[in-house]
Structure 1
Amino acid sequence: MDDSARQADAGEPAHPRTPPPPPSPSADIGAASIDSTYRDRSDEPLKLESEQWDITSISALAAVRMLIQGLESLAEATGDVPPTPPVSRPHTPNTEDMLRRISTAGASIPVPPITIGSPEAHPHEPITVIAGNAEDIVYQHAAIARRFFSKVAPPFTLYEYLLRLHKWCPHSPGVYLAAAAFCHRLCASDLMVPATNRTIHRLSLAAIRVSAKALEDNKWPQDRMAKVGGVSKTQLMNLEVTLCFLLDFDLWVDDKMLARRMYLLQQAARQGLGAQGKLADEFKLKLPLRKKLALAAS
């Protein structure tokens, strides 16, 4: 039996004379229920007293505010930690040329220009271990950390920076919570990167970008994220690679881990992990465990 016969048996015309009505997303029950769920979420950041809390109770704005508060408080407690110079300091590119490239990148995007400042590290500084002796490892530690350092602290707060990012490239609450989890691992748990006013901007940008790529199907274009973040596309790529390398490419998270890491980030800030003068003297960058094992076997 052909399709027209089936339609006739079902009491429907074989060739309808008028097209069906256009779709109406607002009338869809599923979409309406999702919208109402997000409208019910609070925009107020939470001060956590336990790792047992409902991550679905906060909006994306609340999540990014919690990330900001945790990193800013941790940076205030840590103070400034100067990065170790690289093996050989290459020629620093002309700052005016760099700013001009940043301002013209993605010129078609109606986003106000911004610059986060010049990075401490040269784009071609290595991030992988090239030798096994202690001296080379020290330089490798420095090269890894230097990618997150700005030469000087940006002329705006992390609050202003990430709210700008959320305005022009908004993400889901889970992305900001995952970024907080990654930052806690690097800054407080594993002590790989110090949270200072010269690192938290680049670190949070990289953490949010990597989190979005790990958790979401739809992502903002690279040129838009770079322009909103005030860096070049190459710098953003280097920051992402560095973050993944330091995390040993372990990007898996679940709801319990997101809740726990955000709580621990707030706890680290409250307890003054790396208080003024202490972390600057004792901070030692670490390589991921897999890299250590590879060195031991060589």
Structure 2
Amino acid sequence: MEDGVAADAGTATPRSPPPPPSPSSATSVYVDLHNHKPNEPLKLESERWDIHSISGLAALRMLFQALEALVEVTGDIPPTPPVSRPTTPNTEDTRQLALRRLSSPEAAMSIGSPEAHPHEPLAVQQYAPDASVQNAAIARRFFSKKKPSFSLEQYLLRLHEHCPHSPAVYLAAASFCHRLCVAELKVPATNRTIHRLALASIRVSEKALEDNKWRQERMAKVGGVTKKSLNHLEIALLFLLEFKLLVNEEVLASRMFLLQQAARQGVATKGKLGDQFKLKLPLRKRMALPKS
């Protein structure tokens, strides 16, 4: 060999195999996957708090508790009328689709039919002189024709049971809801909007933050909507958020605090928040016919 070192393979002493690994003794690399975080929701007193200190269930409870309190403040607000009168859907196809959804054990909570027709356009530039009217037309996607027969708490707990998410997803959903319902007043938080808004916010948050995502069909079934309706809700949410989905730890912490604060402060002025929403489209002007 090089450097004048001789090697005799025949006289080499065989080495014994290493001992078997012991994960419990390797404290530097062992991760305890059963170290659960608290499931109790936090009542925040400041924008600065540790978002890593809670579990996904705790974050979900903070989300629906704040939204349900906000619903009590807002009251009921009717949606804007449709931009156009679409054709009547095929009722037989709709009935068969509903039966297929209810045949699944996960799909026990249908949130009913939406106000907006599937073919109703999102763009209303020909009738929209400003962005507020455009947003009002898009907000129709989140209105249900009737109030669901179950609470938002029951709805989201069942969603978490069959499609659980990380705390960051629920905190990001709270951030989106605060922007639309409180900061920018684009979608009112009412008994007829909050289920669809929460579902769309959680779904968009999941797609924005998570690598592993639940299948669209499963989320739609558990959420009590069709796959097509869920797609429409996501698109509507993205338009209203202006596709600004970037969040960080500071944003997640502060928006959840602000959502809770809006719900707490609004209790003292119940019913006044709804007066700030003006969901009306401008009247269509008749075109003057040329004189003969």
- Interval of TM-score (by shorter of Structure 1 and Structure 2): 0.7 to 0.9
Shift of residue 145 of structure 1? 1.0
CA distance in 1, matches of 2:115, 2:23: 48
- How big is each residue's C-alpha offset from its partner over 1:210-259, in whole Å with a ceiling of 9 and x where there is no partner? 00000001000000000000000000000000001100000000001000
Which is richer in helix? 1
| Secondary structure of the structure 1 residue equivalent to 2:146 | coil
Shift of residue 115 of structure 1? 1.1
CA distance in 1, matches of 2:86, 2:97: 20
Report the AA paired with residue 251 of structure 1. Answer: L
Contact 1:79 1:275 in 2 (8 A): no
Alignment of 1:40-119 (within 5 A): 41-93=37-89, 97-105=93-101, 110-119=105-114
| Secondary structure of the structure 2 residue equivalent to 1:225 | helix
Shift of residue 125 of structure 1? 1.5
Gaps of 5+ in 2: 1-11, 281-292
- Aligned partner of 1:33 among 31, 34, 50: 31
Shift of residue 127 of structure 1? 1.6
The answer to which of 28-37 and 255-264 deviates more is 28-37
C-alpha RMSD over aligned residues: 3.3
- Aligned partner of 2:166 among 163, 172, 182: 172
CA distance in 2, matches of 1:106, 1:150: 18
Change (3 A) 1:183 1:273: farther
Aligned to 1:270: 264
For the pair shown, the structure with the greater C-alpha radius of gyration is 2
1:220 and 2:207 are equivalent in the alignment: no
Alignment of 1:255-294 (within 5 A): 255-272=249-266, 275-284=269-278
- How big is each residue's C-alpha offset from its partner over 1:30-56, in whole Å with a ceiling of 9 and x where there is no partner? 88525144x1x1100000010011100
| Secondary structure of the structure 2 residue equivalent to 1:53 | coil
Change (3 A) 1:98 1:177: same
| Secondary structure of the structure 2 residue equivalent to 1:131 | helix
Shift of residue 87 of structure 1? 2.1
| Secondary structure of the structure 2 residue equivalent to 1:272 | helix
Aligned to 1:242: 236
Contact 1:49 1:263 in 2 (8 A): yes
- How big is each residue's C-alpha offset from its partner over 1:150-193, in whole Å with a ceiling of 9 and x where there is no partner? 00110000000000000000000000000000000000000000
1:184 and 2:178 are equivalent in the alignment: yes
Change (3 A) 1:75 1:28: farther
CA distance in 2, matches of 1:207, 1:280: 21
Report the AA paired with residue 131 of structure 1. Answer: Q
* TM-score, scaled to structure 1: 0.79
Aligned to 1:5: none
Question: Which 4+ runs in 1 deviate beyond 6 A?
Answer: 23-31
Change (3 A) 1:147 1:275: farther
Identity rate of aligned residues, in percent?
Answer: 63
Change (3 A) 1:173 1:271: same
| Secondary structure of the structure 1 residue equivalent to 2:206 | helix
CA distance in 1, matches of 2:98, 2:29: 38
The count of residues paired between Structure 1 and Structure 2 equals 268
Contact 1:181 1:261 in 2 (8 A): yes
- Aligned partner of 1:251 among 245, 248, 260: 245
Report the AA paired with residue 204 of structure 1. Answer: A
